[in-house]
Amino acid sequence: MSSLSVRFLTPQLPHTVPSSSARPRTRLFAGPPTVAQPAETGVDAGRLEPRVEKKDGYYVLKEKFRQGINPQEKVKIEKEPMKLFMENGIEELAKLSMEEIDKEKSTKDDIDVRLKWLGLFHRRKHQYGRFMMRLKLPNGVTTSAQTRYLASVIRKYGKDGCADVTTRQNWQIRGVVLPDVPEILRGLAEVDLTSLQSGMDNVRNPVGNPLAGIDPDEIVDTRPYTNLLSQFITANSRGNPEFTNLLFSSFLINKSIFNFDAKVSSKELCIWKLQRSSLVIGSYNNTTSEEMGAEALVLYKWPRKWNVCVVGSHDLYEHPHINDLAYMPAMKDGRFGFNLLVGGFFSPKRCAEAVPLDAWVSADDVLPACKAVLEAYRDLGTRGNRQKTRMMWLIDELGIEGFRSEVVKRMPRQELERESSEDLVQKRWERRDYFGVHPQKQEGLSYAGLHIPVGRVQADDMDELARLADIYGTGELRLTVEQNIIIPNIEDSKIEALLKEPLLKDRFSPEPPLLMQGLVACTGKEFCGQAIIETKARAMKVTEEVQRLVSVSKPVRMHWTGCPNTCGQVQVADIGFMGCMARDENGKICEGADVYVGGRVGSDSHLGEIYKKSVPCKDLVPLVVDILVKQFGAVPREREEMDD
């Protein structure tokens, strides 16, 4: 085994013995860039030279590759973002007023860009001086103590403070002010939480099976793997500069993509300045600059994030096909391990499903494989081409065999076995709902799945969830990628009392309506500066109106996202809504959505396709009703009553 290998017991298939959810304290290290030899793929040898080098403990872009880089790459070169944490720069920054910060480019870049490496996102557009803080919560497992602490943080911010369950099994808290950050970071550490390396050019929260260790039908308990991946990426929450300089990209969107009028601008940008300083992007068909009142034009940007998941269920709750690296459980010659998928992602420019790397790794080599894939991406990813930012673009450039060759060179023994044919995920498996009460593999225990409407919670909600976890379970909560929460380890004798709790009766139902069960929404314009439309409240309102008009016999997953970054993952939904600008019946500009249909998750995963573009939000209800009736077997309420 290599120095990064971690020995795991072979799971007792088809069921596994649950392991503790406690995070072991294993110290792990990554390696320097590999000087690669040209693969036999027709790629020029010079293209395989690593773009980065290590200086003073941090990775920086080499001088020879700095021509044509975007402003955010320059910000990283000017000052290493991780120094704000690893060298305690946050303490001094937090002492400055916002007025002092905005006077200097360096400190302004600190709060608007570099603090994202600490999981802090300045809401300059909608909440000037306030930050969203994103946590690291591998596998979505959290404790009542952690939940109470987060509740205490947001409570002090009043109406500006709230929290969201994200589509990566994670918490985001809102309303944070800079002077409080050092103390918040210390408080997070005391309850074994971190926000480090959760944003920008970093590896995002490792996703796993939300029923890990308790599901009678699970393949493998994913918690040990996701915990170790998170520890490796963050060096046990101390900061790991080996993987904090992935790539950042910004780009100019060609107006032809959105069918803009030629008068818009000579610079071919389609981002408009509307309503004072509000920046939006969307489908303004036949709109001239005179009508919009501006031709000022902004750079649209997004980070080189990198997503990883470990699959432990036949249900594929983990959504492996939209991750940059997905571990798919498989046996090989009597050994347990994982086949690897690579390259899945969403972005404004392109969406792609992950593809097989034709590689299998033993359970012991999960970390070396992650390290090798990340280093290949870090070393070779293009930083100058602004529209080709995620790992799949590198895979396309090198070819899957060429990319595989680069991964092999970065494995400890320069070896990587070919994919196994003994896939353990059952292909014909009907995806189960986790709402309601279900028996665990542990006799006498059950779990309860609760619906959290569009993932939004307040401080009092979090305190109540923590109380329920303590009284009825073992002080543990599980977050899901559908923005819901599971309480595990409930004694069967306590189920009846739990179901009578006011929180479950009034707020977080274990039996939500079918159309509400799969409802997902990103942050939207309420807080996010990149969002074009409001999403969370609108998603609830539209769904409530639709379910008054039609009934369905099974859940229909509906996802909302406020902009083309598609944080709401509309392409995997049965019906997806991507925010844009549209025109109403009078030709006036209004908020709208591009509607997607046909996304699927599971073994037959498929990305949805555009069904209708630029639909005014006020016209969505009849359109959704029509789609549900024609494609999902919905029955109009009037007809249903007549049949009765």
Active site residues: 134, 304-305, 562, 567-568
- Encoding tokens for residue 46? 């010079």
Counting beta carbons within 10 angstroms of the beta carbon of residue 66, is it exposed (0 to 12), middle (13 to 18) or buried (19 or more)?
A: middle
Residues, the chain, total?
Answer: 644
Signed CA dihedral, 73, 79, 80, 83: sign only: negative
Of the candidates 362, 346, 360, the one whose C-alpha atom is nearest the C-alpha of residue 407 is: 360
Q: Which helix (H) or strand (E) holds 104?
A: none
- Encoding tokens for residue 299? 């750079």
Any idea which residue has 């704000």 for tokens? Answer: 84
- Encoding tokens for residue 180? 């409080």
- Encoding tokens for residue 331? 């046996």
Sequence letter at residue 190: E
Q: What is the DSSP letter of 3?
A: T
Q: Which helix (H) or strand (E) holds 178?
A: none
* Residue pair 305/200 in contact by the 8 Å Cβ criterion: yes
Per-residue CA distances from 98 to 122, 199, 246, 277, 302 (Å): 11, 22, 29, 19, 24
Give 401-464 as a DSSP string: HHHHHHHHHTSTTS--BPPPSEE-S-SS-PPPP--EEEE-SSTTEEEEEE--GGGEE-HHHHHH
Q: How far is CA 7 from the centre of its chain?
A: 29
Of the candidates 633, 621, 443, the one whose C-alpha atom is nearest the C-alpha of residue 542 is: 621
Question: Can you list the pairs that 472-478 forms with residues at least 24 positions away whose Cβ atoms lie under 8 Å?
Answer: 472/497, 472/498, 475/143, 475/144, 475/145, 476/21, 476/141, 476/142, 476/143, 476/144, 477/141, 477/142, 477/143, 477/144, 477/147, 478/139, 478/140, 478/141, 478/142, 478/169, 478/210, 478/211, 478/447
Helices (H), 13-81: 71-78
Measured CA to CA, the distance from residue 253 to residue 388 in angstroms comes to: 12
* Residue pair 559/572 in contact by the 8 Å Cβ criterion: yes
Of the candidates 159, 174, 182, 156, the one whose C-alpha atom is nearest the C-alpha of residue 96 is: 182
- Encoding tokens for residue 472? 């009825």
Signed CA dihedral, 464, 466, 471, 477: sign only: positive
Per-residue CA distances from 261 to 211, 284, 292 (Å): 51, 8, 12
**Phi, psi at residue 123, to the nearest 5°?**
-95, 60
Signed CA dihedral, 264, 268, 270, 276: sign only: negative
